[in-house]
A and B are shown apart, each in its own frame.
Chain A
Amino acid sequence: MKSSFSLIGEQLALFRGDRLLFKQCNFDLSNGETLQIKGENGAGKTSLLRMICGFLDPDEGKLNFNQTSLLKDRSEFYQQTLYLGHQLGIKSNLTVAENLAFYIEINGASQRCDISEAVDKVGLAGFENQLVAHLSQGQKRRVTLARLLLEEAVLWILDEPFVALDVKGQHWLQNTLGEHAKAGGGIILTSHQAIELEVPIKSLTLQGGGQ
């Protein structure tokens, strides 16, 4: 069973330069829930995710994780979350297995399955000892997705996880997301495509200059 968590954003507003990206943005998320952030290009979807992850400060509003403000303390938040962004965060000079092993080790959390098993499941069987530099864009994406299977995190924060995946890969990812939600995990993701999970999906639409 996943540990319980709650993430609440209240009246969040964010400016980039002097342009208002969004304001009065409210959401809440707890175990078993999925939140899809929608909006046009430039509406601030990635910025909202980066804000939740602590790489941008909101100009207004509150952000609480398990009743503590994320603006003050993030140690617990970092332990329980896994963020996959546009930049993959894998080194092209390391092999697939080395990249994954590093993240398991640095996170210090328990490992959910064997690296080879996870690599198999994301469809990269046989590529374990290949340098990431030799992989295609979609395969690199799959390497990062293998982290979802390996690391113990309750809350997944995914920025456009379906990009560069083929149809089979997209199908697999939807199933994986569904299983995670059913097991009590939380998911925040941005995506332009319609997602079908077996669990209900909350949605949050960002529009220029307000919600």
Chain B
Amino acid sequence: MILTLLKREIRLINRKRSELLNPIVFFILVTVLFPFGVSPEPALLQQIAPGVIWVCALLSVLLSLDSLYRDDFDDGSLVQLLMAGVAPGLIVLAKSMCNWLFTAIPLIIVSPLIGIMLNLSDSAFWAMVVSLLLGTPSVCLIAAIGMSLTVGLRKGGILLALLVLPLYVPILIFGAMAVNAATMGQSYSGQLLFLAAILVFTVSMAPWAAGAALKISVSE
């Protein structure tokens, strides 16, 4: 059943590829602006690079969510899926997987380039890529909870950010800490393990929470 859902999501995403570009363009633009706004000093850039990359990645993922959920809500597809007996958690899981594949993966692919631009030290590249790989699925899943709660509201954008950003704080701290530690040549496996633990927790809990929220949203 989840394969059917995934196939549909991928087909829908494929039909409006221009929307895929939004988060990645946002990510690149914002990170590019930092050296102009803060300072082009390589030493300073190296220091702020982990935080900048992580914060921008979080916000880019938030930017990509709206159409993924709202279209299905507005055209009644969500009601039809629930009436077909599909577990709401499964709908969320399929959407989050697509969200990760088509938003987070492109970000991770361009992140080494951004790293070079922000003078991230060579030793931190792997830490950055792996921490993003481990952290972004949790980001997508937590965002799904917020999106499921606010999809029925006409202007849920700010509310979504308010609900979800506090939950991102641990991911942001451990993600940026892993990259920082690698920059200074220290071991960063502890931070990565924390990210992995958060991932296990969100994968097992978030779809269910978001599914329940989705059901409430459909019932207004």
Contact = CB atoms under 8 A, between A and B. Distances in A.
Interface of A: 50, 53-57, 74-75, 78-79, 81-83, 85-94, 98, 102-103, 105-108
B123 interface: no
A82 B71 CA distance: 21
B1 A108 contact: yes
A87 B16 contact: no
B80 interface: yes
A78 B83 contact: yes
A106 B84 CA distance: 7
Contacts of A88: 75-76
Contacts of B205: none
17 contacts: A53-B83, A54-B82, A55-B79, A55-B219, A57-B219, A78-B83, A79-B85, A82-B83, A85-B76, A86-B76, A88-B76, A89-B76, A91-B75, A91-B77, A93-B16, A98-B11, A106-B5
Interface bracket on B: 20 to 34
Interface of B: 1, 4-5, 8, 11-12, 15-16, 71, 74-77, 79-86, 218-220
A56 B86 CA distance: 18
Given A56-B219, A87-B74, A94 B15 contact: yes
A62 B34 CA distance: 61
A102 B75 contact: no
B76 A75 contact: no
B84 A103 contact: yes
A105 B4 CA distance: 7
Nearest to B14: A93
B81 A106 contact: yes
Given A91-B12, A103-B84, A107-B84, A83 B219 contact: no
A78 B83 CA distance: 6
A9 B219 CA distance: 19
Q: Which 4 A-B pairs have the closest CB atoms?
A: A87-B76, A89-B80, A78-B85, A89-B76
Nearest to A157: B83
A26 to B, nearest CB: 23
A14 to B, nearest CB: 12
Nearest to A102: B8
A89 B86 contact: no
A187 B82 CA distance: 20
B11 A94 contact: yes
B212 to A, nearest CB: 14
A89 B218 CA distance: 13
A81 B80 CA distance: 11
A210 B80 CA distance: 30
B67 to A, nearest CB: 11
Given A53-B79, A82-B83, A85-B76, 7 more contacts: A50-B219, A89-B76, A90-B75, A92-B75, A102-B4, A105-B4, A108-B1
